Amino acid sequence: MIFTLDIESTLHSLLAQEDTDGDKKITIEDKGPKAFNIISSEGIDYIVKGTYHLSNLLQELVMAKNEGDKVAEIPLHHIEELPSVRISRLIKDYFWNGLTRTIDETGIANLMHDTKNASLASDKLRIYIPFDDKLALQYYHKLENSLPIEAIKLPEDISPAYVKSLNTRPGILSLKLEEQNSEINKALSYLNPELVSEIEARGGKASAIKTDVSKSKDVEQMVAHAIDVFGRLDYAVNNAGIEGKLSGITDLSEEDWDNVMNINLKGIFLSMKYEARAMIKLGKSGAIVNIGSINSFLGFPTGSAYVSSKHALVGLTTSVSAELAPQGIRVNLLCPGVIDTPMHQRLRGVVGDEIYDQALLPKVHLQRAGRPEEIAQSILFLCSDAASYITGTTLTPDGGLTLTL
């Protein structure tokens, strides 16, 4: 059943009846009848009942309006679809580009409005470019003519003194440009080079090295760099991961599948390979923590690549744990739930407070999202002597979410 609805008149009637507190939303606090009549294209009367279904109808109307439409054609299954299905569909069809950060020409304007990051608060956005990345240097120099940015080429050898100097010149680091038909079509997500400075300013010791975890040579160099700087390797946390493209199995391309597997699974395989070599060579016991997800146990529509990569980490972790335990090296998997990170906040923003508050949070025993520092404490625990008899297992800091799904 499909409903062909005049957007303006339907919005006006729906909000007038159901939005009793005037906040342009339909929530459980509103005192409306929670029942709204619409007519299908076939002339069949249908009553949309309940807060959740009414808020879905409202969201469908608003999205169509934002697309510039005067009339919305809304299938019944979009109004009644389950929360997990709806969230996956909306991310895939409407919001994916808005959830990913890039620093190409189309993404820089949005970054300039990010007032939460000190790197972006100055009049000009500094973009630090790896010494040997000629393509990126040329690209950003060209953008200097039209955008408020400053392209800065990093030295070939980055000294500790240079890293400390970034305290007064914060910016972001270009990781990789994608070129298609001789044009830049995407600049991949960035790292913030001021993080090392922040750690050292607080009395710690830190160093960073650009690494593509899907490449064996890069990972080997990363581990060697850690040994050069710190003299040893006691603990390792393998956290690099991507969501990849959300797509149904009949539409998912081999390239999109490989991209996710190369980072999420192959990347952790390579990291453990060289981390374990270093620990064994130095004759040290140690601990390795791999970062999975509650999707190491749970699936969701359109997430086959991501979910498969996270499921695989369970088997990989337990197998490597059995191999390395005789060497005194413990290996565990941490599987966080819904955590309050920038990605999570953007997700909440695009799917709507209603779905988040009424469909997701109630399933978390603690009735809230986790905090990043709580995940950090879980990692520290698994690395510490307090976890000396824990290996080959999973720890799931999810507030009880997986127990209710």
* SS3 (DSSP) at 48: strand
pLDDT for 192 equals 53
pLDDT confidence bin for 85, thresholds 50/70/90: low
Q: What is the per-residue pLDDT for 103?
A: 66
Position 72 scores a pLDDT of: 93
Banded model confidence at residue 258, pLDDT cuts 50, 70, 90: very high
* Residue 86 host element (H or E): helix 83-90
C-beta separation of 170 from 201 below 8 A = no
Task: Identify the burial level of 99 via C-beta atoms within 10 angstroms of its C-beta, where 0-12 means exposed, 13-18 middle and 19 or more buried.
Answer: middle
State the pLDDT confidence band at 190, using cuts at 50, 70 and 90: very low
Q: Which residue has the higher pLDDT, 30 or 359?
A: 30
Strands 177-180 and 235-238: unpaired
pLDDT of 380 above 60: yes
Distance CA 42, CA 166 (A): 65
Domains of the chain: 2-80 (no CATH), 100-206 (no CATH), 209-405 (3.40.50.720)
Q: Would you say residue 109 has pLDDT above 70?
A: no
What CA–CA distances, in Å, run from 100 to 14, 113, 175, 307, 346?
33, 15, 14, 19, 9
pLDDT, greater one: 167 or 143: 143
Instruction: State the catalytic residues.
Output: 306
Residues 6+ apart with CB under 8 A from 51: 26, 27, 28, 30, 34, 354, 358
Torsion angle of C-alpha atoms 102, 299, 342, 355, degrees rounded to 10: 120
Q: Which of 20-34, 230-244, 310-324 has the highest mean pLDDT?
A: 310-324
Instruction: Confirm if 260 and 306 have CB atoms less than 8 A apart.
Output: yes
Q: How far apart are CA 192 and CA 119, in angstroms?
A: 8
